[in-house]
């Protein structure tokens, strides 16, 4: 069995207020124009590739974005292929070959806080210091 995302929860990302999707090996996204299909896919892409968020990425800028994925098929063989530092940081979250990936929830909540600090030098400095603390925690 290969590893795959089996479930995704998306909250407050662009036009997606709160949605949960069960995914299979092939899951078509079908809907009307402007229903949010592309936003669902871009939230998964954002989860998998680290990138910064802008204010337009938030449905409600006063709330954090949450994108949580359940990844199945994380075998010991797969973990052994990772560099030791990554393996150590990931394997403690794997139970029954399943990883619930919500580490970015913290990053997103911080991104929201940094957006609030966009006015005034003091607020910008606090936002940069907060970002430095987050980077130190994630490294």
Phi, psi torsion values for 80, nearest 5 degrees: -65, -20
pLDDT tens-digit profile, the chain (139 residues): 588 889 999 999 999 999 999 998 888 889 899 999 999 999 888 888 777 788 888 898 888 888 888 888 888 888 888 888 888 888 888 888 888 876 445 344 444 444 444 434 344 444 444 444 444 444 4
User: Whole-model pTM?
Assistant: 0.69
The answer to whether the beta carbons of residues 64 and 113 sit under 8 Å apart is: no
- CA pair distance 49, 69, nearest whole angstrom: 13
């Amino acid at each position: 069995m290969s590893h795959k995302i089996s479930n995704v929860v998306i909250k407050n990302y662009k036009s997606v207020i709160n949605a949960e999707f069960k995914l299979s090996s092939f899951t078509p996204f079908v809907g009307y124009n402007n229903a949010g299909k592309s936003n669902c896919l871009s939230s998964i892409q954002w989860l998998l590739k680290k990138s910064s968020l802008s204010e337009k990425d938030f449905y409600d800028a006063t709330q954090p974005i949450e994108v949580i994925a359940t990844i199945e098929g994380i075998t010991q063989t797969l973990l052994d292929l990772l560099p030791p530092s990554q393996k150590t940081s990931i394997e403690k979250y794997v139970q029954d070959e399943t990883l619930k990936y919500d580490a970015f929830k913290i990053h997103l909540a911080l991104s929201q806080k940094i957006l609030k600090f966009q006015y005034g030098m003091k607020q910008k400095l606090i936002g940069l210091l907060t970002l430095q603390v987050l980077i130190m925690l994630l490294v």
